[in-house]
Amino acid sequence: MSDFFAARLQMALTLGTHIIFACFGIGLPLLLIFVEWRFLKTGDELWRTLGKRWSKTFGVLFAVGAVSGTVLSFELGLLWPEFMGTYGAVIGLPFVLEGFAFFLEAIFVGIYLYTWDRLPPRVHWFTAFPIALSGLAGGTFVVAANAWMNVPTGFELDKNGRVESADPMTALFNPGMPAQAAHMIVAALMVTGFMVAAYYAFETLKGRKSEYNRRGLTLGLGMGIIAALLQGPVGHEAGHMVAKYQPIKLAAMEGHFETTDWAPLRIGGIPNMETRETTMAIEIPGGLSMIAFNDPTATVRGLNEFPDEDLPPVAVVHFAFQAMVGIGTMLMGLGLWTFWRVWKKQPIGDNRWLLWAIVAAGPLSIVALEAGWIVTEVGRQPWIVHGVMRTSDAVTEAPGVVPLFIVTVAIYAGLVVGTVVTLQILSRIPMPEPRHDA
């Protein structure tokens, strides 16, 4: 294994792990705000009990996410020194702002977790709002930095390839930021919602049809379904951005080789780099042109128009994109199924097929999330900064990258296992009987 490949694998491992915890950091505070509001509104102690238990889970996930996110910050400098050395002045601002957001979030997480019985209920509820806002802001700032890597703006290079002028604000609000940030935030809400719903659906399948589990299932499923339905139009806007600024990535996503108008949308298919065609796909004429440019007759550039050395691993990008869209479509279908049962006034917990579908939706939402990041990151290759700096030119020349990767795998495996075990222990703690004196 080369040092370059090991460095890329390490970033993939650490980012792919951290992004899951980051999703809960964005989604869970919103659920906590809602359940505590319901307690304040109704005086029903069961809402407060739900909030207390969720806050413990959030505390664990926040702590693990903080550690894994810090590792990523160090890796940018250790593994990719040329990238940070050249463009740090351009893209440093979102990382600084994310740091402030994290510190604010950490302060209020501590206050929120330890003052359930020490602050008046309404005051305690208010302490959750900075957590939610900081989580949303931090996620937005980090994604803004990644969007800049896809659509680099706000700088000028001298003849030696060094930055001679930088505009951090322009870099922060780059053209790719709004669509990519919205896409990620909605994905975070989708993962949080469906994972919460999956847990309570599984509890219901085991015969535990309590009001506590019903409320947890309903809230998680509601968040997940709303996010899944929003992801359609949000993803459509992200597709426009990719079509405009990264036509190679768009062509790889669809396995589109020939430049043509009425470009077809492909469902499935296997890209073949030797024959330069995608076989075994269901093609919808004009579908890709419509998605990319809102015009079924629009011309979409194909992979054959670009040099081979500028192409990403087409099959990897195509399969990841198909997985993301396919799972997203299934989750939308789950939402429609749920709405139909609600409209028919049929309890969700009485249909075992629906409950098993909800259980599957949790891990599938994470698969869709990871597939989306594969499209984003692998689809940009061979560039670390699209069109400006190649990934191979940014990697460290220091020795020891492969051993570092092996150690990182072991540490992260322990981190994930420890997190799962801790959450299982928390789930087995008996739920206190709700008081009705409020």
Q: Is residue 278 part of a domain?
A: yes
Structurally, how many domains does the chain consist of?
A: 1
Pairing type for strands 389-390 and 383-385 reads antiparallel
Q: Is residue 338 part of a domain?
A: yes
State how far the Cα of 396 lies from the Cα of 84, in Å rounded to an integer.
Answer: 11
> Is the Cα torsion angle 428, 190, 51, 99 positive or negative in sign?
positive
Q: What pLDDT is attached to residue 436? A: 46
Torsion of CA 188, 81, 238, 338, to 10 degrees: -20
Q: Residue 248 is part of which domain span?
A: 193-398
Q: What pLDDT is attached to residue 437? A: 44
Q: For residues 419 and 428, which has the higher predicted lDDT (pLDDT)?
A: 419
User: Tokens 């405009």 belong to which residue?
Assistant: 244
Q: What pLDDT is attached to residue 274? A: 87
Q: Is residue 67 part of a domain?
A: no
Q: What pLDDT is attached to residue 433? A: 52
Percent above pLDDT 90 for the chain: 47
Does residue 38 register a pLDDT over 90?
A: yes
Helix (H) or strand (E) holding 354: helix 352-378
Q: Is residue 258 part of a domain?
A: yes
Contact 189, 237 (CB under 8 A): no
Q: Is residue 333 part of a domain?
A: yes
Q: What is the pLDDT of residues 54-82, one digit of tens each?
A: 999 899 898 888 888 888 888 888 889 88
Q: What is the pLDDT of residues 313-350, one digit of tens each?
A: 999 999 999 999 999 999 999 999 988 988 888 888 88
Q: Is residue 125 part of a domain?
A: no
C-alpha dist (Å) from residue 84 to 281, 340, 379:
41, 51, 21
Q: For residues 210 and 249, which has the higher predicted lDDT (pLDDT)?
A: 249
The residues facing 271 across adjacent strands are 278
Q: Is residue 226 part of a domain?
A: yes
Q: Is residue 344 part of a domain?
A: yes
Q: pTM of the prediction? A: 0.91
CB-count burial class (<10 Å; 0-12, 13-18, 19+) for 325: buried
Does residue 438 register a pLDDT over 70?
A: no
Contact 405, 8 (CB under 8 A): no
State how far the Cα of 411 lies from the Cα of 421, in Å rounded to an integer.
Answer: 15
